Amino acid sequence: MAGPGIHHFHQPWAQLPPPPPSISTPPSIAVPARPTNDEVRTIFIAGLPADVKERELHNLLRWLPGFEASQINSKGDLPMGFALFSTAQHAMAAKTAYMAPPVLYAPYGGYPVTQVALPTPAPVPPPTVYAPVQNTKDNPPCNTLFVGNLGESVIEEELRGLFSLQPGYKQMKILRHERNTVCFIEFDDVASATSVHINLQGAVLPSAGRTGIRIQYPFVNFIDTYTHTYIQIIFGEVLGQKIEQWSQQALLRISLTG
DNA sequence: AGCACA
């Protein structure tokens, strides 16, 4: 359901002249039809993906207090977003909300959980048999390993017993499928994962048959994905004039329009 | 080759 203000402000906004295509000429959008006392209640958002949808911008902003409406101007080469708030304070607060320092993605650690003492898996003697493994297509190193070629008969306790003893081990997840089983193992850091990647490559687990396990880095490295997802904020009294800048990579640039 | 947790 749409916010209460979106319908109310749709008409006046639609009547505005189309905002100019360039950042150098600010649109006169902060002149809503309802009486104001020259407050700046509008936030200007640049750096949006070229295919951004109105709905996506709305979903991004709708939770912010005082949010009334948003719209996208796709006339220029890059889309620009505008968001209207009920007061200047709300607009300011919205800007501040996106100023929050980046939350570095912490796998499995994003929210508080009650620690449950799991039974420590029985330690498994280090594998003595190794089989050659072709690992032609691997992915960039990260702190998590993907393990395949485990066979159908692999015993989870054996997997846990082996990997949980490795230095830097954090946790692992085993995915059992119809015909094969894979698992992910998270370590404290890339170095720990890398040494396991090297040392246990091709290890033959007693329960896994005669072929060695294949250790790879996963397709998707969420740590990289999230730590490199910055939101850049630029404030400007005049649109496009940088006054304060934060972060290195831009997903969004949010300015106050005047 | 089989690739999750948010």
- A94 with A175, same domain? no
Q: Which nucleotide is nearest to A171 (CA to C1')?
A: B5
Print the domain residue range for A209: 144-224
Q: Is residue A109 part of a domain?
A: no
- The reply to whether A213 falls in a domain is yes
Domain assignment present for residue A170? The answer is: yes
The answer, yes or no, to whether residue A185 has pLDDT greater than 90, is yes
Residue-wise pLDDT tens digits, A159-170: 999 999 999 999
> Which amino acid makes up residue A78?
L
Q: Is A248 part of a structural domain of the chain?
A: yes
pLDDT band at A99 (very low <50, low <70, confident <90, very high): low
Q: Which residues touch strand B (CB under 7 A)?
A: A 107-108, 110-111, 134, 137, 139, 144, 146, 148-149, 173, 175, 177, 180, 182, 184, 186, 214, 216, 218-222, 225
Distance between the alpha carbon (CA) of A166 and the C1' atom of B4, Å: 20
Are A248 and A162 found together in one domain? no
pLDDT at A136 over 50: yes
Gap from A96 CA to B3 C1', Å: 37
Q: Band the pLDDT of A64: cuts 50, 70, 90.
A: confident
Domain count for chain A: 2
Higher pLDDT, residue A222 or A229: A222
Which pLDDT score is estimated for A15? 33
How does pLDDT run across A11-59, given as a tens digit for each residue? 334 333 333 444 444 444 444 444 456 678 888 887 777 778 888 788 7
